């Protein structure tokens, strides 16, 4: 009577038990719904691995449980263990009773483990009086929320649990003695029979997933079949446990559908980006080409004799063209930020020339607004540096442009200081300070986002694209620096950024001496070939060259340029990469072949309106020495041409001295 009462207590305690299947080959654990409730975790949050299970075990029991698992893997067979867990959802400590069996094949290889698990916090299970492990296991599975059946080789049921009875709407008495295959749809009977009849002592279990329509709804169950053999290897009976995995399959199907939709969306997005890139490439070329002529003509006009009024108008036109060029660069850089990011072009430059260049851009407007403008330069910074001066100018123009826009009276200051130096590497800190309207605290992070603008007291945004600061932040990041702001509304702003630069071995004094040496004497005359189908472009370069004392020869396409190179040797070729008849890439390759035969090297600068990501790399891959995007400033063209020619002549002198 006492033993019967204990068994009854066990059955009552296990009515809310969970069940599991652990596949040692894949380290995957399948849980019934009750398992998630016991452990206080959702199916999405559980990793379904042994490691995920151990995460919930109480730290004081973790070593013991891990050792028990290892022992069971070595020994196989049935097991029972008690331990504590910490529930994920509420942190409660719960006592767990777990009973299961570890399956091994004939070679001793561990295959899987199955079992049931019960929250036994309120009343621990007592070991004595439960009978043998077979009876204990059957009583446990009778209360678990999964189907369990035991049957003979012909499918005749010898035992079913209550969950199995409930699912088929039949009593245990009605099911025992029936062939369970008869309960299945006819088209599934053969495949199910094959799955369990194929088991052998070497492979005593299998797992299969089958569907069944119940009340108009298709439900899926994952079945684990186990064969029990006699000593001769003859199957005596089979056991099977089925867990409802319908929700899991639906989740997986939803994930597959979402993944397919995501791939479709990515494809559409990629196509849109490609279309955008084609549009930007066309727009860039179509805008840059005439703008280059405009910038060049303004530069040439400033070199002529003008009245004071004409000179003032020319300066304003030059400033406007600089700002227009900076705006175009901002728009195109926005596309680069979305695609492959900015490309840095590190080269040697004179710091004072950069500071003077940005000052000249804003000098007319600063004068018109009656503002004071000051530049402070740390004297410890060498004159000659190496970095991307064009990108540096772009950041400074954006920051100074904002300062000018938001400052009605007072002053603007640009400063640069050395904050760190190690060998030839140097960290510079730049600052643009103004006495303008300032920036509200809540806007000081947002302004670095794309299309973000600061609003004034009337809530009306100042003019602008809202791209400048976002692009500055991206460029500064590429230069291994950081951009930030300090501001108080009504008391002005201070924008700071750092950039890493290197210090070339050559110093400014030697560079200036080299420039003077090259500008003296007829032996330094530069023979320049400009190949461009744009007549305005050829005219501008011809006039710039005339002012510098260059001898300029013009070619309207690549074929004419090649013919001229066959007749005469040039010190430098300015090559447009997009020309009719023969484009710049093919013309460059032909020049390189001629140079190879003659044993010389002719410097070639690609001068092109192509300024999108990859264009510079494509030009360099074609064989050019340098790349200059249209529109360009005359001083940038002059510096690039003369630096390249000086470098090539120095190499030739060294070669002659060595020989």
**425 and 527 part of one domain:** no
Among 183-192, 324-333, 335-344, 455-464, the minimum mean pLDDT is found in: 455-464
Residue 424 falls inside a structural domain: yes
pLDDT band at 375 (very low <50, low <70, confident <90, very high): very high
Task: Specify the higher pLDDT residue, 342 or 444.
Answer: 444
Share of the chain above pLDDT 90, in %: 32
Last residue of a domain, which of 502, 526, 541?
502
**359 and 258 part of one domain:** no
Q: What is the DSSP letter of 57?
A: B
Tell me which residue of 64, 589, 576, 639 sits closest to 293, measured CA to CA: 576
Q: What is the pTM of this model?
A: 0.46
Q: How many whole angstroms separate alpha carbon 425 and alpha carbon 241?
A: 70
Handedness of CA 225, 229, 234, 239 (dihedral sign): negative
Rounded-to-10 torsion of CA 398, 403, 405, 411:
-140
Task: Using the predicted structure, report yes or no on whether residue 49 has a pLDDT greater than 50.
Answer: yes
Q: 104 forms bridges with which residues in the sheet?
A: 110
Q: How many whole angstroms separate alpha carbon 463 and alpha carbon 132?
A: 86
Give Dmax (Cα) for the chain. 124
Highest mean pLDDT among 116-130, 253-267, 576-590: 576-590
The pLDDT of residue 400 is 94
pLDDT band at 13 (very low <50, low <70, confident <90, very high): very low
Residue 314 falls inside a structural domain: no
Residue 556 falls inside a structural domain: yes
Q: How many whole angstroms separate alpha carbon 178 and alpha carbon 35?
A: 31
Q: How many whole angstroms separate alpha carbon 57 and alpha carbon 95?
A: 10
Task: Specify the higher pLDDT residue, 119 or 448.
Answer: 119
**Burial track 497-530 (b if 16+ CB lie within 10 A, e otherwise):** bbbebebbeeebeebeebeeebeeeeeeebebbb
**34 and 136 part of one domain:** yes
Q: How many whole angstroms separate alpha carbon 119 and alpha carbon 198?
A: 37
Share of the chain above pLDDT 70, in %: 82
**202 and 60 part of one domain:** yes
**298 and 366 part of one domain:** no
Tell me which residue of 40, 57, 35 sits closest to 114, measured CA to CA: 35
Q: What is the DSSP letter of 349?
A: E
Residue 507 falls inside a structural domain: no
**467 and 583 part of one domain:** no
**94 and 192 part of one domain:** yes
Q: How many whole angstroms separate alpha carbon 87 and alpha carbon 121?
A: 12
Tell me which residue of 35, 43, 39 sits closest to 17, measured CA to CA: 35
Output the domain CATH number for residue 470: 3.30.565.10
For residue 178, the surrounding DSSP H or E stretch is: none
CA 408 to chain CA centroid, nearest Å: 42
Q: How many whole angstroms separate alpha carbon 610 and alpha carbon 615?
A: 6
Last residue of a domain, which of 244, 271, 290?
244
Residues 6 or more apart in contact with residue 267 via CB below 8 angstroms: none
For 164, the domain range is 2-244
Domain count, the chain: 3
pLDDT in tens, 412-432: 999 999 999 998 899 999 999
**214 and 259 part of one domain:** no
508-519 and 634-658 are packed helices; what angle lies between their axes, rounded to 10 degrees? 90
Q: How many whole angstroms separate alpha carbon 479 and alpha carbon 473?
A: 10
HEC per residue, 197-226: HCCCCCCCEEEEEEEEEECCEEEEEEEEEE
**Residue 239 exposure: Cα atoms within 13 Å on the Cβ side:** 15
pLDDT in tens, 594-636: 999 999 999 999 998 776 667 888 899 999 999 988 878 788 8
The pLDDT of residue 133 is 54
**227 and 263 part of one domain:** no
How would you classify the pairing of strands 626-629 and 604-608? parallel
Task: Specify the higher pLDDT residue, 481 or 306.
Answer: 481
How would you classify the pairing of strands 604-608 and 572-575? parallel
Strand order in the sheet with 18-23: 28-31, 18-23, 110-119, 93-104, 77-86
How would you classify the pairing of strands 147-151 and 235-244? antiparallel
String of DSSP letters for 497-552: EEEEEE--SS-HHHHHHHHHHHHSSGGG--EEEEE-S-HHHHHHHHHHHHHHT-EE
Output the domain CATH number for residue 260: 3.40.50.2300
pLDDT band at 455 (very low <50, low <70, confident <90, very high): low
Residue 320 falls inside a structural domain: no
Last residue of a domain, which of 474, 502, 530?
502
Rounded-to-10 torsion of CA 487, 488, 489, 495:
-10
**Average pLDDT of the chain, as a whole number:** 82
On whether the CB atoms of residues 47 and 39 are closer than 8 A, the answer is: no
User: Which residue, chain included where needed, has tokens 């596309």?
Assistant: 335
Residue 321 falls inside a structural domain: no
pLDDT band at 262 (very low <50, low <70, confident <90, very high): confident
**494 and 617 part of one domain:** no
């Amino acid at each position: 009577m006492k033993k019967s009462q204990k068994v009854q207590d066990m059955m009552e305690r296990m009515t809310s038990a969970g069940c599991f299947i652990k596949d040692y080959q894949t380290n995957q654990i399948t849980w019934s719904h009750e398992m998630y409730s016991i452990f206080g975790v959702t199916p999405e949050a559980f990793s379904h691995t042994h490691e995920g299970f151990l995460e919930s075990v109480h730290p004081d029991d973790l070593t013991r449980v891990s050792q028990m698992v290892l022992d069971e893997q070595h020994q196989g067979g049935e097991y029972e263990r008690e331990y504590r867990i910490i529930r994920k959802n509420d942190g409660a400590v719960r006592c767990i009773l777990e009973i299961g069996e570890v399956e091994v094949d004939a070679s001793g290889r561990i295959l899987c483990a199955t079992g049931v698990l019960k929250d036994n916090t309120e009343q621990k299970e007592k070991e004595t009086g439960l009978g043998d492990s077979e009876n204990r296991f059957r009583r446990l599975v009778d209360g678990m929320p999964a189907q369990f059946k035991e049957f003979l080789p012909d499918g005749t049921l010898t035992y079913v649990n209550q969950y199995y009875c409930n699912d088929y709407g039949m009593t245990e008495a009605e099911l025992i003695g029936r062939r369970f295959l008869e309960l299945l749809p006819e088209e599934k009977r053969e495949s199910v029979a094959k799955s369990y009849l194929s088991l052998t002592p070497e492979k005593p279990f299998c797992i299969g997933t089958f569907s069944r329509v119940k009340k108009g709804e298709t439900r899926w169950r994952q079945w684990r079949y186990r064969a029990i053999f006699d000593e001769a290897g003859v199957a005596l009976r089979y056991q099977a446990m089925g867990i409802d995995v319908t929700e899991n399959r639906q989740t997986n199907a939803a994930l597959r559908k979402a993944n397919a939709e995501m791939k479709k969306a990515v494809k559409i997005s990629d196509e849109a980006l490609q279309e955008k890139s084609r549009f930007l490439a066309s727009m860039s070329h179509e805008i840059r080409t005439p703008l280059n002529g405009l910038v060049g003509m303004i530069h040439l006009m400033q070199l002529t004799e003008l009245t004071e009024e004409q000179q003032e108008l020319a300066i304003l036109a030059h400033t406007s063209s600089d700002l227009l060029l900076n705006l175009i660069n901002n728009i195109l850089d926005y596309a680069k930020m979305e695609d492959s990011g900015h490309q840095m072009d590190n080269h040697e430059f004179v710091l004072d020339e950069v500071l003077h260049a940005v000052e000249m851009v804003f000098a007319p407007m600063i004068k018109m607004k009656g503002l004071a403008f000051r530049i402070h330069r740390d004297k410890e910074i060498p004159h000659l540096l190496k970095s991307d001066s064009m990108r540096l100018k772009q950041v400074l123009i954006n920051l100074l442009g904002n300062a000018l826009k938001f400052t009605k009276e007072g002053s603007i200051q640009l400063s640069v200081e050395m904050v760190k130096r190690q060998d030839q590497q140097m960290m510079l800190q730049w600052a643009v300070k103004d006495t303008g309207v300032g920036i509200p605290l809540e806007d000081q992070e947002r302004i670095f986002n794309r299309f973000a603008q600061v609003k004034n007291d009337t809530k009306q945004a100042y003019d602008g694209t809202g791209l400048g600061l976002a692009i500055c932040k991206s460029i500064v990041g590429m230069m291994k620096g950081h951009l930030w702001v300090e501001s108080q509304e009504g008391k002005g702003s201070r924008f700071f950024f750092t950039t890493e630069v290197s210090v070339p071995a050559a110093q400014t004094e030697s560079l200036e001496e080299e420039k003077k040496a090259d500008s003296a004497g007829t032996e330094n005359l530069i023979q320049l070939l400009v190949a461009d189908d744009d007549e305005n472009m050829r005219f501008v370069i011809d006039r710039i060259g005339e002012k510098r004392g260059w001898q300029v020869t013009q070619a309207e396409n690549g074929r004419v340029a090649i013919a001229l190179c066959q007749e005469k040797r040039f010190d430098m070729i300015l090559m447009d990469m997009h020309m009719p008849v023969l484009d710049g890439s093919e013309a460059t390759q032909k020049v390189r072949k001629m140079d190879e035969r003659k044993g010389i090297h002719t410097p070639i600068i690609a001068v092109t309106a192509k300024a999108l990501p990859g264009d510079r790399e494509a030009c360099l891959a074609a064989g050019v020495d340098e790349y200059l995007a249209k529109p360009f400033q005359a001083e940038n063209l002059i510096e690039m041409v003369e630096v390249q020619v000086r470098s090539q002549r120095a190499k030739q002198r060294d070669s002659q001295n060595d020989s």
